[in-house]
Chain A
Amino acid sequence: MHPAGPAAAAISRLWWVLLVGATLIFGFVMALIALAWRRPAGTGDERRFVIGLGLAFPLTVLAALLAYALVLGERLLPRPGPDVVTVRAEASQWIWRFGYPDAEGRATENVLHIPAATPVDVEITTTDVVHSFWVPRLAGKLDAVPGHVNVLRIETDGPGEFAGLGSEYNGPGYAGHRFTVIAHAPEDWAAFLAGDLP
C-alpha cells in the first residue's frame, strides 16, 4: 500500500494496527495450544478459559477496535465544506465517463480530472450493471448501483496520476475496466475547467 491521500493514509495506518494486533493474538493462541502438550493433565480451569479468554478478552479488544473504526469511518465520509469539488462518474460495460458540474459540457472518458489536495466528491452511477469505483491509492471503493447515486470522498496529497479500477465483477471486459485519475495543481485545474487542457 502506497497511500497518496488522507483517506488512504488513514486506512493504511488502520491496517498496520490490525496486522500487529492480529499477529500478537495469533502467537498467543498458538502458544496456548503448544502448552497443552507441555503441562500436566488436569490444569485447565473452565472459568479462566471460557469466561476469561473466551468472553472477556475478545469483548475488550473488539470494543476498542470498533470505537477506533467508527471515528475513522465518520472522518472519511463526504461532509459539506466550502472548497469541496464535485465530479460525476458514470460506469458502463466497459468504460468510465466523467462529467464536471463546474464546467458543464466538459466530459472525459476513462480519465478523471480533479484538483490536487482538495476534497472531491465523486457522484457514482451506472448505465447498465453494478460496477464499483476504486482508486486504491486515494480511498476505499464505492459501488455504482442502477438507479442510485453514491457519493465517495477522495483527496490527494498533491498533483499526480493515479490508477483507477472498476472493482465489481461486471462480465468479460472486467480485467480491462480501468481509468486514470489526474490530480492537477490549481492553475492546471483552472485551465482544465476553462477547456484549455485536453
Chain B
Amino acid sequence: MTVPGESAPSTAPSTDAAPMTALRRHRALTRIWASDPGWKGWFTTVNHTDLGRMFLSVAVFFFVVGGILAMLIRAQLASPRSAFVGPDVYNQLFTMHGTLMMFLFAIPLFEGFAVYLLPKLLGTRDLAFPRLTAYGFWCYVFGGSMLIFSMLAGIAPDSGWFMYPPLSSTLGSPGINSDFWLIGITFVEISAIAAAVEITVTILRYRAPGMRLSQMPIFAWYALVTAVMILTGFPPLILGSILLELERAFGLPFFQVADGGDALLWQHLFWLFGHPEVYIIFLPAAGAISTIIPVMARTRLMGYGWIVAAAVSLGVLSFGLWVHHMFTTGIPHMGLAFFSAASTLVAVPTAVQIFAWIGTMWRGRPELHLPMLWILGFFATFVIGGLTGVMVAVVPFDWQVHDTYFIVAHLHYVLIGGFVFPMLGALYYWMPHFIGRKSYFKIGPTAFWLVFAGFHGTFLLLHWAGLLGMRRRIDTYESGQGWEAINILASVSSFVMAIGFALVLVDIVVNAVVSVRGSRNPWGAGTLEWAMPTPAAAYNFASLPVVTSRDPLYDDPELPARIARGEGYLGDPVRGRRETLSLDISTGRPAYIVVYPGNTAMPMAMAAVTGLFFLGLLVKAYWLVPLAALGVAGFALNWVRALGARREEGALPAGQGLSLPTASEVPDPPGWWGSLFLLLADGTLFGSLLFGYAFLFTIAPNWPPPAWAEPGAGVALAALGGAALVGAGRLTRGGAGAVVTLAGLVALALACLLMLRHAPDPTAHAYDATLWVLTGYALFHLSVAALMAGALFARRRAGIVSARIGGEGRILDLWAGYAALVTLIGLAVTAAPGVLG
C-alpha cells in the first residue's frame, strides 16, 4: 500500500534524466496507478475503471439469473393448471425475480456505469473514495451471494419482493426465507449508499479544472440527482428491513396490530423507498439517452437547462407519490386525490425530456447506428409504459387493475423500455471505450429485433389479461377465462426475447475477445471520456485539461494530444503517488490536491467481516455479531490510519504555475464532504424512524400503550449536560477539544442507559420497541463518535498533520454534533408523552 507522505519509491521517474514525452509520461503514470497484475489485482484494485467493469459484469450476471427465473415463471404460466412447479417453488421464483432485478441488477448496473464513466466524463482521475468503491463492490458481491445461496438451497424468500408483513413476518413466514431477504438486501444496500456518497462528492468536487456545474456533461447531472435520491430514498427501506428483522428475531412488535404495531407502516416505509426507486432506475437511463441522441444526430442537446430542471423535479416529485401503490388500502379519498395528482404530474417533467430529445433529433440529422436503434426501441416502449402509468395513477382505474397483470405489463414497459433498452444502447455506445475495439460482428441488430418483438409479444396483451381479471402472483389458473391464448403467446414471445438477450451477450463477448482495435472516438462525440486512448489507461488523463464548455472536444479537437503531452494540471508525476485535483463546487477553480491510497485488499477483507456480521444475524449465531462489529471498527481505524502525513508539505506545484495544498492541510477534506452526505442518508433514516413513531402513535389501532416511560430528572440532566459538553468541544481548539467532546458523548450515553433502565420490555408494545430502537440508534452513533474522538486524540499526539490542522476535527464535529442531536430528539420524543401526559 502506498502510504502518502512517505518518500517516493525508487521507481519514481526523474524529470532531469530525459524530456517527458507522452510515452514516458504514460509509463510513469501507469506504474503509479496500475492495479496489481494477475488474479491478485481483482481483489486489491481500487481503480474505478476496473471496479466499474466488475460492477457491470456482476450486474449482468444477476440479470441472467433473474432472466432465467422469468423464463421459469413463463413456463409455468404457459398453460392452465400447469404442473411444472407447485406454489411453494413458484412463490420463490417470482419473489426472487423481482428482488434480483431491482436490487442486484438495476441499481448495481447504474453504479457500474457511474463508477466507470463519471471520472472520465468529468475529467478527473478517479472517484472521491477509491477504497469505498471497492468496499461497496464486495458488499454487493457477498450480499448477492447470500441470496443466490438461499435460492440454490430452496429456502429463498417467498413473500413477494415487497415483503408485506404479516405475511413476511413470523406469522406468515416462520422459516429463514424472509431473513435472507431482509439481511441480504440490507447488506447489498451498503453498496448503494457507498456509491451514492461517492458519486455525489465526486460530481461536486472532482472535475476538470474550470468546469462549472452548468458545463458538466448531462449524464453527470442525472447521476447527481440519482445519487441524492439514493441517499434519501433507500434509508426508509433499510429502516423497514431493520424493524421487520427485529420483529422476526426478537419479537419487537412494529407491524403486529395486537401489540400496537401496524402492517401499513411497512407499506409506507417500503413505498417511500419503492417509488423513488423507479426514478432512481429511470434517471440514469435518461442520462444515457441525453448523451447519446445528440451524438447520433450530429448536433447538441436541446434544452440542457430544461432537462436538468426536469430531472431535479422528477427527483423531488417522486418522493410525493409513494401512496399510489396503496390506493386500495383504505386511505381517505381526498388523500388519494392528492397523490393521484402528484402521480400524474410526474408525466410533465418526463414529457419535457421526451420532447427535448425529439426536438434534438429534429434539429440534427439522426443516423441509425446500433445505440440509436435501442433508443428508438426505448421511445416506442417507454411512451406506452408512461401512458399506462398515467392510467393507473387515476384512482378509480387503479382500484380495478391493481395487483393484476395490467400492472405487471405496465411496470415491464417502464422498466425494460425505460431502463434496459437505453442501457443496452449505452452499452453499445460505450463499448468501443470499454474494450477499445471496433464492433465487428453484426449480430447486434438481429438481437435488437428479437428482443423488441419478443418483449411486445410478451407484455402487450398481458394488459388485456389483467383487465380480464388475471391476478398477479397466482401460480396457476383455470381454463375457460379467456386467458389461454394470451398466456401461451406471452410465454413463447418471452423465450424469443430471452434468445435476443443471449445474442446480445454473445455479441459483446465475441467483440471483446476477437475484434480488431478501433479508432479513438468512433462516434465523434464531444465529451471528455473520448479524449483518452481506449481501453482507458489506469490514470485516465495524463494531465488534467482546463474545460470551459460542455463539449470540449468540439471546441478543440487537438485536446487529446495536448492532454497526453502534459499541457494540463498534474502532468508531471514527480511525487510518485496517485494525485488529482479537487475543485470549488460552483466555479470549478482548483482548490487542493487529493492524494489517493494505492492498491489494497483491505476493502474486500472489511466487506468479508461485514458479511460475518450479517451472517451472524441470519443464522442466529449472535456471539458472532459483536465480534464482527469489533472487526469492522478495527478495519475502520486502520482505514483512516493510511490517510494523512506526519510532516507538512505546504503548497505543492500542480502544474501550469499553480501551487496548491494537499487535502490533509485544508479544513474541508474529502472525508468531511463524504461524512456530510452519509449523514444526509443517516438523517433520512432517523427521520423515517420518527415518521414511523408518529404514524403508529396516530394511526395504529391499539394505542396508547399500557404505560409510558417516565424517566427521572437524571436523564434530562445527563443529556443536556452531555450536549453542552459536545458543543463546548467544538469551540475548544487543540487536543483538549477531542477530550471535551468525548466527555460529552459519555454523558449522553449515560442518559440513554438511564432511559433504558426505566423502559419496559421492548416486546410488550410497539411504543416500547420504538423507545429501544431510538435509544439504541443514539447509543450506536455516540459510540461511533466516541471512537472517532479517541482516534483523533491519538492521531494528534502522533503528529498527523490533518488531525492538527483542523480537517479531521471538523469531521468529528459533524459526527459528534449529529450524535448529540439524535440523542436529544430521541429521548425527548419518547419521554414526552409520559412527562406531559
Query: Interface of A with B (CB < 8 Å)?
Result: 1, 8, 10-11, 14-15, 18, 22, 25-26, 29-30, 32-33, 35-37, 39, 41-46, 48-50, 53-55, 57-59, 62, 65-66, 69-70, 72-74, 76-77, 93, 128-130, 132, 136, 139-143, 145-148, 150-151, 163, 165, 167-175
- Given A46-B359, A49-B359, A146-B263, are A73 and B166 also a contact pair (CB < 8 Å)? no
Task: Give complex CA distance A148, B171 in Å.
Answer: 18
B: number of interface residues (CB 8 Å): 83
Are B348's CB and A142's CB within 8 A?
A: no
- Given A54-B354, A59-B348, A62-B390, are A145 and B399 also a contact pair (CB < 8 Å)? no
Q: Is B684 an interface residue (CB 8 A)?
A: no
How near does chain B come to A180, taking the closest CB pair, in angstroms?
Answer: 14
Give the contact stretch, choosing among B51-59, B337-345, B537-545, B546-554.
B337-345
Q: Which residues of B contact A146 (CB under 8 A)?
A: 166, 256-257, 262-263
Are A62's CB and B171's CB within 8 A?
A: no
How near does chain B come to A166, taking the closest CB pair, in angstroms?
Answer: 8
Are A44's CB and B359's CB within 8 A?
A: yes
Task: Give complex CA distance A127, B352 in Å.
Answer: 47
Query: Scoring B residues 329 to 365 as 1 if CB is less than 8 Å from chain A, else 0, what string do you get?
Result: 1100100110011001101100111111011111111
Q: Is B756 an interface residue (CB 8 A)?
A: no
Q: What residue in chain B is nearest A163 (Cβ atoms)?
A: B469
Q: Known contacts A50-B352, A141-B328; can you find 9 more A-B pairs with CB under 8 A? A: A22-B387, A22-B390, A32-B362, A48-B359, A65-B344, A73-B336, A140-B396, A140-B400, A170-B167
Q: Looking at A35, A128, A136, which has the most chain B CB atoms within 10 Å of its CB?
A: A136
Task: Give complex CA distance A148, B391 in Å.
Answer: 28
The 9 closest A-B pairs by CB, nearest first: A140-B399, A147-B257, A49-B359, A44-B362, A150-B330, A54-B352, A44-B363, A36-B361, A22-B387
Kindly identify, within residues 461 to 481 of chain B, every residue whose CB is under 8 Å from any CB belonging to chain A: 467-469, 471-477
- Given A49-B303, A76-B396, A168-B403, are A148 and B344 also a contact pair (CB < 8 Å)? no
Q: Is B302 an interface residue (CB 8 A)?
A: yes
Q: Which residues of A contact B471 (CB under 8 A)?
A: 165, 167, 174
Task: Give complex CA distance A29, B228 in Å.
Answer: 31
Q: Looking at A48, A139, A170, which has the most chain B CB atoms within 10 Å of its CB?
A: A170
Are B330's CB and A142's CB within 8 A?
A: yes
Q: What residue in chain A is nearest B344 (Cβ atoms)?
A: A62
Query: Interface of B with A (CB < 8 Å)?
Result: 87-88, 91, 159-160, 164-167, 171-172, 256-258, 262-264, 297-299, 302-303, 306, 310, 328-330, 333, 336-337, 340-341, 344-345, 347-348, 351-356, 358-366, 376, 379-380, 383-384, 387-388, 390-391, 394-400, 402-404, 467-469, 471-477, 700-702
Task: Give complex CA distance A30, B395 in Å.
Answer: 28
At the interface, is chain B mostly helix, strand, loop or mixed? helix
Q: Looking at B340, B379, B400, which has the most chain A CB atoms within 10 Å of its CB?
A: B400
Q: Which residues of B contact A11 (CB under 8 A)?
A: 396-397, 399-400
Task: Give complex CA distance A74, B355 in Å.
Answer: 34
Are B263's CB and A130's CB within 8 A?
A: yes
Are B344's CB and A142's CB within 8 A?
A: no
Are B467's CB and A37's CB within 8 A?
A: no
Are A142's CB and B328's CB within 8 A?
A: yes
Are B328's CB and A140's CB within 8 A?
A: yes
Task: Give complex CA distance A179, B702 in Å.
Answer: 31
Q: Which residues of B contact A148 (CB under 8 A)?
A: 264, 330, 701
Are B475's CB and A53's CB within 8 A?
A: no
Q: What residue in chain B is nearest A71 (Cβ atoms)?
A: B396
Are B333's CB and A77's CB within 8 A?
A: yes
Are B468's CB and A147's CB within 8 A?
A: no
Task: Give complex CA distance A2, B159 in Å.
Answer: 32
Are B362's CB and A136's CB within 8 A?
A: no
Task: Give complex CA distance A58, B87 in Å.
Answer: 43
Task: Give complex CA distance A7, B475 in Å.
Answer: 29
29 contacts between A and B (CB under 8 A): A11-B396, A14-B394, A14-B397, A18-B394, A18-B397, A22-B388, A26-B384, A35-B362, A41-B299, A43-B363, A46-B359, A49-B356, A50-B303, A54-B351, A54-B356, A62-B345, A69-B394, A69-B395, A73-B336, A128-B166, A136-B400, A141-B399, A141-B400, A143-B328, A145-B329, A146-B262, A168-B403, A174-B475, A175-B475
Task: Give complex CA distance A35, B263 in Å.
Answer: 51
Q: What residue in chain A is nearest B330 (Cβ atoms)?
A: A150
Are B363's CB and A66's CB within 8 A?
A: no
Q: Which residues of A contact B262 (CB under 8 A)?
A: 146-147
Task: Give complex CA distance A15, B468 in Å.
Answer: 13
- Given A36-B358, A129-B171, are A62 and B347 also a contact pair (CB < 8 Å)? yes
Task: Give complex CA distance A126, B302 in Å.
Answer: 54
Are A55's CB and B87's CB within 8 A?
A: no
Q: What residue in chain B is nearest A62 (Cβ atoms)?
A: B344
How near does chain B come to A94, taking the closest CB pair, in angstroms?
Answer: 11
Q: Which residues of A contact B397 (CB under 8 A)?
A: 11, 14-15, 18, 69
Task: Give complex CA distance A58, B396 in Å.
Answer: 20
